[in-house]
Amino acid sequence: MNTRIEKILNKQIKAEATSSQLYLAMASWAECEGINGTAQFLYAHSDEERQHMLKLVKFVNERGGKAEIPSIEIPQKEFESPSHVFTLLLEHEIQVTNMINEVVFVCLEEKDYSTHNFMQWFVAEQLEEEALARNILDKLKLIGNDKGGLYLFDRDLNTLISKPETPTN
């Protein structure tokens, strides 16, 4: 595997692992706050990010590179509200999208079309994840401080959980 591609994919492995830990910290916070729908949604989201990481690990190793399993900094553990959580989550996903775009750009520069092809799954996934986070934030804006609305929001968030995908290449 081209070393520049290997390096940037390893950077992406760390980004996905960091996302997984951040969403796990958010899930744990939500659980302690008694907002269980939100907690379940975030636990599932954390699992999905781990699957993204695994997908990259396996791809790098199977293409003759060496995946680096990274150490991760301790994520933020206190949050002010569900709106705060989902604002941070959207900001984080936008950063990840920028990183994915950079990987795609390097693939083109290096004329690595098979990695470019592999990365298209991540491009589509980022579009979905950003749209979902924006949708949730729009709902939270509508609800404002209405406790009944927040109760229903938390209950309904369970229905937005998508099944983590089994990593494939």
* Distance (Å, whole) CA 126 – CA 145: 29
Query: Count of residues binding ligand FEO (CB under 6 A)?
Result: 7
Binding residue (CB under 6 A) for ligand FEO from 5, 8, 9, 16: 16
In the structure encoding, which two tokens stand for residue 122, read together? 């991540």
Binding residue (CB under 6 A) for ligand FEO from 6, 41, 52, 119: 52
Residue with tokens 């081209």: 2
154 binds ligand FEO (CB under 6 A): no
Residues 94-113 within binding reach of ligand FEO (CB under 6 A):
96
CA 23 to centroid of chain Cα atoms: 8
In the complex, the smallest distance separating the C-beta of residue 154 from ligand FEO, rounded to whole angstroms, is 21
Binding residue (CB under 6 A) for ligand FEO from 6, 47, 93, 112: 93
47 binds ligand FEO (CB under 6 A): no
Measured from the CB atom, the residue of 47 and 129 that comes closer to ligand FEO is: 129
49 binds ligand FEO (CB under 6 A): yes
In the complex, the smallest distance separating the C-beta of residue 130 from ligand FEO, rounded to whole angstroms, is 9
Draw the binding track, 117-146, toward ligand FEO (x: CB under 6 A; -: no contact). ------------x-----------------
Binding site for ligand FEO (CB under 6 A): 16, 19, 49, 52, 93, 96, 129
